[in-house]
């Protein structure tokens, strides 16, 4: 309380000195001092409003940046959920009954009208990280590219996890519209 009283007294003394000084001025000088005082007050108001506007702009920029980051996090979370769902679907297919690869390839070829006569179990079959792989080398002669693409899609879309690991295509000199293809098809099963 005492400090407030001292501040009021000091302020009152300063205002009294200012009044004495202003009354001692000529009328023309009073007008000039008043105009200068108004200019200082307007400059101070402009400076304060500039700082406030700058602060508001900075906050809006931070809000916009945080909104962008939140949207990016949302996209990443959605991508993560989608990848998790895909992983769970593949795991479910891996846990399903094992695919009899030779019969699956023969049946798929027969359903598409592709004659598959050369099926050889591959020595590439083996154990991968937590998975058992079975591979078959399939030779298909005299097939057009459209039917080959449909065969590959049908093989991979079948039951279980079946993937075409490698594909070798050679053109034929007797009919340029047809090719000979060698597919290395693998199926995977979780280790028991």
Give me the pLDDT at residue 192, please. Answer: 65
Structure confidence by residue, pLDDT tens digits, 103-114 = 999 999 999 999
Give me the pLDDT at residue 81, please. Answer: 97
Domain extent at residue 15: 1-95
Give me the pLDDT at residue 117, please. Answer: 80
Q: Residue 129 in contact with residue 191, Cβ under 8 Å?
A: no
3-state SS assignment for residue 141: strand
Global confidence as pTM: 0.58
Structure confidence by residue, pLDDT tens digits, 124-182 = 556 667 788 889 999 999 999 999 999 999 999 988 889 999 999 999 999 888 999 99
Residues 85 and 111 in one domain: no
The count of domains in the chain is: 2
- What does the buried/exposed string (b/e) look like for 7-27 if buried means 16 or more CB atoms within 10 Å of the residue's CB? eeeeeeeeeeeeeeeeeeeee
Measured between alpha carbons, how far is residue 59 from residues 54, 67, 72, 79, 168 in Å? 9, 12, 20, 30, 60
Residues 58 and 76 in one domain: yes
Residues 47 and 73 in one domain: yes
Residues 88 and 155 in one domain: no
Residues 76 and 143 in one domain: no
| CATH number, domain with residue 150 | 3.30.70.60
């Amino acid at each position: 309380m005492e400090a407030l009283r001292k501040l009021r007294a000091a302020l009152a003394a300063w205002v009294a000195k200012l009044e004495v000084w202003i009354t001692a001025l000529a009328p023309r000088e009073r007008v000039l001092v008043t105009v200068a005082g108004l200019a200082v007050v307007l400059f101070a108001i402009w400076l304060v409003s500039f700082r406030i506007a700058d602060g508001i702009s900075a906050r809006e920029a931070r809000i916009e940046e945080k909104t962008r980051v939140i949207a990016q996090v949302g996209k990443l979370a959605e991508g993560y959920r989608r990848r998790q769902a895909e992983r769970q679907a593949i795991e479910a297919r891996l846990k399903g009954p094992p695919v009899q690869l030779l019969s699956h390839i023969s049946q798929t070829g027969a359903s598409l009208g592709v004659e598959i006569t050369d099926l050889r179990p591959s020595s590439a079959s083996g154990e991968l990280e937590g998975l058992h792989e079975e591979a078959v080398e399939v030779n298909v002669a005299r097939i057009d590219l459209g039917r080959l693409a449909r065969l590959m899609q049908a093989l991979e879309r079948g039951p279980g996890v079946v993937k075409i690991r490698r594909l070798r295509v050679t053109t034929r000199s007797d009919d340029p519209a047809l090719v000979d293809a060698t597919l290395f098809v693998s199926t995977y099963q979780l280790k028991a």
